[in-house]
Amino acid sequence: MTKIILALSLGASLIFTAHPAKAESATEIITKVEKNLSPPNFKSLYQFTNYRLDGTIAQYDVRFSVKDVNHSHGYFLKPEREKGRETLRLKDTIWTYMPSVARAVRVADRESFAGGDFSNADVMRVDWLAQYNASIAKETKNQFIIDLVAKNSEAAYAKMRIWIDKTTTQPVQQYFYDSKGTLLKICKYGSVKTFGNITRPAKLVMENVITKLKSEMQIIELQLENKIPDGRFVVDNLGKEI
């Protein structure tokens, strides 16, 4: 009898241990990535480097104040000739402030950010799940490869494909496609750092496949848990310190 009970217990334990753990869905994985890439209430200093075909570079330092994915504000510190320029994202709308004429102008979402290969959406709005449906294209030994397909034509890209490390849930690489399936840009992530209670890549390199141009975005400084006053996200306060 004891042998039978032992055999049943062993069998049962084998059955239970052999049952695989519940796999994470693409949406759950992307949610984790977004949480690190775009936490609420932070201030940061980003450095953008645009590499030109003639070998010269253009560098932009922008300080960001971010309330959430729908509310962010950028202030240009460098280059000096762009000093004082501002960008404000309010949900689906983007405003830019031109210090030369002290004027706020509403602009389209698709314009490149700071003349580089990152778009406004790439920099100021990492809320992919709001605009894209996520599905796992392939699961390799070390990475999830996830497709993000636009829910409608208002998304910046028709499709994105992102490679995510299984162990750390950090993005490794991202492809951006248009509606014809043409690969437009490739973003490579690196230099993973910890800022407060988040860990994320601090360096992103975006290569424009069409133009062969390349831009780099590096996080110089990032402060979490900053309560940013709502006044920072008011159009009439563009051009003003808060």
Hey, which residues between 36 and 55 contact another protein (CB under 8 A)?
43, 45, 50, 52-54
Binding status of residue 35 toward another protein by CB under 8 A = no
Please give the angle made by the CA atoms of 86, 235 and 198, to the nearest 5 degrees. 60
Binding status of residue 185 toward another protein by CB under 8 A = no
- Enumerate the β-bridge partners of residue 98: 103
Instruction: For another protein, give the closer residue by CB, 38 or 118.
Output: 118
Q: Which of 48, 75, 118, 128 binds another protein (CB under 8 A)?
A: 75
Quick one: which H or E segment has residue 15?
Answer: helix 2-18
Structure tokens at 92: 């689906």
Residues 99-158 within binding reach of another protein (CB under 8 A): 99-112, 115, 137-138, 140-143, 145, 147, 153-154
Instruction: For another protein, give the closer residue by CB, 12 or 107.
Output: 107
Handedness of CA 91, 95, 51, 208 (dihedral sign): positive
Task: Please report where in the chains the tokens 């990152």 appear, as a residue.
Answer: 118
Instruction: For another protein, give the closer residue by CB, 126 or 187.
Output: 187
Binding status of residue 79 toward another protein by CB under 8 A = yes
Task: Please report where in the chains the tokens 């407060």 appear, as a residue.
Answer: 196
Contact by Cβ (8 Å): 41, 67: yes
Instruction: For another protein, give the closer residue by CB, 30 or 202.
Output: 202
